[in-house]
């Protein structure tokens, strides 16, 4: 009895030493160089089990693909049980370092930014990575990535969704304001509207005119964690607590998201313009991500 009890941990250790990576069901990846942005991106693809509709699969693009794609792919796999399916595309970077994309993303997800103090000092970003590349990143998605996907998968060009969280949500709003014709559905999760003194909102007025004249449906979902404006009792990473809470208060994550959704919902668009707002009552800026992704997938596939 004693010998068998002692032997069990040794057997478990042997199993751990021979462990292999866990594959993600239905998923694949490839690297795609961009002539437009002069970067190489890692493209994560989830192909659903249900066969494609006659018009092809709907497509859902997810920014920050290294971290967010596994959540979206796993949720879409569950939705296949209800015979729902879309091609989920995560756009990330060719690295296995979990933290590196957190710095690479600044160039692609932010517009030209006047206030350079917004960029992290540690690790220091090169001048080329300090924002300003969001328009090039948008062009990569629509001019290079889309054709590559259409050449390999049956896709529905009219049923496409763009999702992003945080700076990714800022990117989604920037694309929607400037190029509303590019996607049917826009999902901005906890969008960083505060970035660079709310410069993204400079294009809101022009978007209103475009939305009112658009013939095809345009649908918007804005999500946020209801606790994203709550003061912290402990600052992350040893940062000064008072300064951290001051930044949280100034960012107005919940108020900015709700205010934008309210303004957009008052538009008298006659082309199937839909605006929804969702705050997740018990979630903060990080814990809201799984819920917002799940809501985004259902929003994209609503009939």
Mean pLDDT by 10 residues, the chain (303 residues): 46 72 93 98 96 96 98 96 95 95 95 88 79 95 98 97 98 97 97 96 90 83 97 80 89 97 82 90 96 98 86
Out of 134, 159, 189, 228, pick the active-site residue.
Answer: 228
Answer yes or no: 165 catalytic. Answer: no
Q: What integer pLDDT is reported at residue 5 of this predicted model?
A: 44
Q: Which residues contact 94 (CB under 8 A, 6 or more apart)?
A: 31, 40, 41, 42
Q: Supply the pLDDT for residue 208.
A: 83
Model pLDDT, residue 82: 92
Could you tell me whether strands 87-92 and 40-46 are parallel, antiparallel, or unpaired per DSSP bridges?
antiparallel
Q: Please pick, among 166, 190, 199, 292, the residue that the annotation labels catalytic.
A: 166
pLDDT at 4: 42
228 classed as catalytic: yes
**Residue 285 designated active-site:** yes
Q: Name beta bridge partners: 188.
A: 164, 222
Q: Which of 159, 199, 285, 292 is catalytic?
A: 285
Q: Give the pLDDT score at 131.
A: 85
CB atoms within 10 A of CB 123: 9
**3 state SS of 301:** helix
Cα gap 168→92, rounded to integer Å: 12
Round to whole Å and give the CA distance between 303 and 286.
Answer: 30
Bridge-based pairing state of the strands 185-189 and 155-165: parallel
């Amino acid at each position: 009895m004693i010998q068998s009890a002692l032997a069990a941990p040794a057997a478990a250790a042997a199993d751990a030493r021979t462990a292999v990576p866990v594959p993600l069901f239905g998923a694949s990846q490839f690297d795609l160089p961009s002539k437009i942005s002069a970067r190489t991106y890692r493209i994560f693809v989830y192909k659903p089990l249900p066969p494609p509709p006659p018009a092809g699969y709907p497509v859902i693009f997810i920014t920050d693909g290294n971290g967010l794609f596994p959540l979206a792919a796993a949720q879409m796999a569950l939705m296949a049980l209800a015979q729902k399916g879309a091609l989920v595309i995560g756009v990330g970077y060719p690295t296995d370092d979990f933290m590196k994309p957190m710095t690479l993303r600044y160039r692609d997800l932010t517009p030209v930014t006047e206030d350079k103090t917004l960029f992290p000092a540690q690790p220091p970003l090169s001048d080329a990575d300090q924002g300003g590349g969001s328009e090039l990143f948008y062009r990569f998605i629509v001019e290079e990535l889309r054709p590559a996907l259409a050449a390999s998968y049956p896709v529905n060009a009219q049923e496409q969704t763009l999702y992003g969280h945080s700076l990714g949500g800022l990117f989604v709003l920037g694309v929607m304001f400037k190029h509303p014709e590019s996607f049917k559905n826009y999902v901005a999760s906890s969008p960083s509207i505060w970035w660079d003194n709310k410069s993204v909102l400079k294009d809101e007025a022009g978007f209103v005119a475009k939305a009112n004249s658009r013939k095809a449906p345009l649908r918007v979902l804005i999500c946020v964690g209801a606790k994203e404006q709550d003061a912290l009792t402990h600052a992350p990473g040893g940062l000064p607590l008072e300064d951290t809470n001051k930044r949280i208060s100034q960012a107005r994550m919940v108020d900015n998201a709700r205010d934008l959704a309210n303004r957009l919902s008052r538009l008298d668009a006659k082309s199937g313009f839909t605006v929804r707002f969702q705050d997740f009552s018990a979630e903060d800026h990080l814990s809201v991500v799984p819920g917002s992704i799940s809501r985004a997938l259902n929003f994209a596939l609503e009939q």
